[in-house]
A and B are shown apart, each in its own frame.
Chain A
């Protein structure tokens, strides 16, 4: 009985895959998986609808990659500081503040993005509208910072102190110790942190929906409006005919998203597990 509950995670994970595939069955049959993922036009509601995921995939990729680029350097530096240089008190305070940042609902990030980031991007880059990939990416960068900081901080923290002391005893400074010994030792954990941040970013829905303008076109630059995978599902699923082709296509899109994040998380978890084992003597 209790064992059954133990298996709940596997059951639910499998059920997610199955039900998304089930929901997408019609689209996979009528349009075909290949046509969907290579189609470059997304016009779901015209008389002869076109269901091509490419603009959406590019939209998600543009926002995600930009967000990672913005967030990674700052987040990793912050993690290094918190783990290696900060005193205990600062560490505790910083961690709980960062926890708060992770607990803020994504609509609220979207809201602040609309109020603060969108006007700023419009001004700073002299655009007609601030609702574009860049605004989404900037807000996302903040949203994924807690993930990257806390997981990479854990990885750095897990490096045994003997290693640090060994290096310090050889006459290295704290910083030399950090980048010669600690960071390389924790590199796989740090990598996993970035991957998990990326998984978060790809899957993030509401803030992106509120900020990127949602034009389903292949963008020419980061300052154009884009529509992501998640944004598309969120915006369109509410207006589809139940059991219709459009609905089925959206389920397929969800399946693609699920597959992407599943793989990213799986690899990241395996990397983390391997690292954890390494320090367990």
Chain B
């Protein structure tokens, strides 16, 4: 039996002077911040300011792009994840990701969710069953699909597909869940459901979510980080990070205020 792990207190990130270069273009530079465990941190900023780029640093998905170079230090619970000895494959079992567009695998709902655990070598049917149920429950999808777990994931609606993807990411019991505009391709009702799910999830995982939707950031996050790229010649940087409530009511930086009140971006 796989015990339900609680990662309470685990899954905090510390970034020190992080920069990312694509070929010859430096996309972000000088990002230093702390990401609190069991909280929702929102990354906001105009499009192209490097939010996805920063997010991909946290599970080293930038490694897979082939042309990205990451500099600086990124510590997960005090351990440097860019250390030569650190295996990105192992990192990704601790730091899951949900993508912008729902991308379920072309297989059944069950197999989708069980994919991660199976990758880790879990074969026992009862263990898998338990994990699948728990993950789908946490992703607020269990009630809707428990009768047809053998259904092909492609037959679900967009919102349901995205929640399968969330469940799939949760099934490896990660400490951190990265979400890159997870609701941007969904209708308002599905968006609402995803937001509700996120609120419940922070009990189990640390969440870092990219969103271009200010109201969404205000609604769901505890902390907000604002990024900005002032011109294409310069890299983007982190303007400020703080309590969401403070950021939205009383931002410390003029540029944050301008962005939040909709004057650019």
Asked if A and B form a direct contact in the complex, defined as CB atoms under 8 angstroms apart, the reply is no
A residues near B (Cβ < 8 Å) are: none
B residues near A (Cβ < 8 Å) are: none
